[in-house]
Amino acid sequence: MLRYVTTNEGKLREARAYLDDEVTQFDFDYPEVQADDVATVAAHGARTAYRRVGEPVLVDDAGLFVEGFDGFPGPYSAFVEDTLGVETVYRLADAELEDTSASFRCVLAYCDGEPFDATPDPVDREDRVVAAATGADGAETDAGDGGDALDDDPIPVKLFEGVVRGELVAPRGDGGFGYDPIFEYDGTTMAEMDATEKNAVSHRGRALEKFAEWVQQR
């Protein structure tokens, strides 16, 4: 059984809509490392959760990246939602920016303690961590890699990323969670979609699709 590591019911609902009954919630508030990309946070979370539970885990870290604010709030999205609230984020963007384009980004980090076959896809392995720490060749530090120098833990983590681009708008809709009411995709806010409709276009749906394909091939 796969443990979906989240305290957020909305994420769990979307994961279940995609992966059916194959997931169970692991309500574990893993300590988030201070990092400026969601992949690093997710990779750390997956290792911590795997150590805790000893079974396959999938951590989901996500954020809203407002282009005109250089990606803010990004990895600080939860803090900004809790302090300012999502409507204020929209109002700030509307007041300050001509273009309110934004992206949602989701990184899923999978860990089951097994070494994965090397693939060209993002794989976090010891060799990459060592390479990152020593500055050796191949040490990418962008979100797609997850092999961050912050982490000297050799437990492999596989990362799956999904991104969706849209527009910030005045809040509409009662569904979804978090920033969904202010995020419009193709004329509809994500809070106006049900979980299945949102998965068909969303950052999380795209990341879940990549994960499901990989699991099937494996």
Please give the angle made by the CA atoms of 120, 121 and 122, to the nearest 5 degrees: 120
Our finding on whether 196 is near ligand ITT (CB under 6 A) is no
Q: What is the Cα–Cα distance from 76 to 136, expressed in whole angstroms?
A: 30
The answer to the question of residue 130 lying near ligand ITT (CB under 6 A) is: no
Binding to ligand ITT (CB under 6 A): which residues in 41-80? 60-63, 77-78
* 11 vs 206 by CB, closer to ligand ITT: 11
- For residues 72 and 104, which CB has a smaller minimum distance to ligand ITT in the complex? 104
Write the interaction track for ligand ITT spanning residues 199-218; mark x where CB under 6 A is met and - where it is not.
-----x--------------
CB of 104 to ligand ITT, least distance (A): 6
Asked whether position 177 contacts ligand ITT by CB under 6 A, the answer is yes
Is residue 111 within 8 Å of residue 47, measured between CB atoms?
Answer: yes
Residue 17 burial class via C-beta count within 10 angstroms: exposed 0-12, middle 13-18, buried 19 and up: middle
Least separation in angstroms between CB 180 and ligand ITT: 4
Show which residues are catalytic: 61
What gap in Å lies between CA 3 and CA 26, rounded to an integer? 5
Contacts 24+ apart (CB under 8 A), 147-155: 148/35, 148/40, 148/43, 150/33, 150/35, 150/40, 150/44, 151/40, 151/43, 151/44, 151/47, 153/47, 153/129, 154/125, 154/126, 154/129, 155/47, 155/50, 155/51, 155/111, 155/113
Q: Which residue is nearest to ligand ITT (CB)?
A: 178
Nearer to ligand ITT, 132 or 191 (CB): 191
CA distance 70 to 137: 28
Q: Quick one: which of 37, 124, 161, 180 contacts ligand ITT (CB under 6 A)?
A: 180
Can residue 192 be called a binding residue for ligand ITT (CB under 6 A)?
no
Sign of CA dihedral 141, 216, 4, 198: positive
Question: Judged by CB under 6 A, which of 37, 81, 151, 161 binds ligand ITT?
Answer: 81
Name which of 145 and 180 has its Cβ closer to ligand ITT.
180
- Interface residue list for ligand ITT (CB under 6 A): 6-8, 11, 60-63, 77-78, 81, 104, 176-180, 190, 204
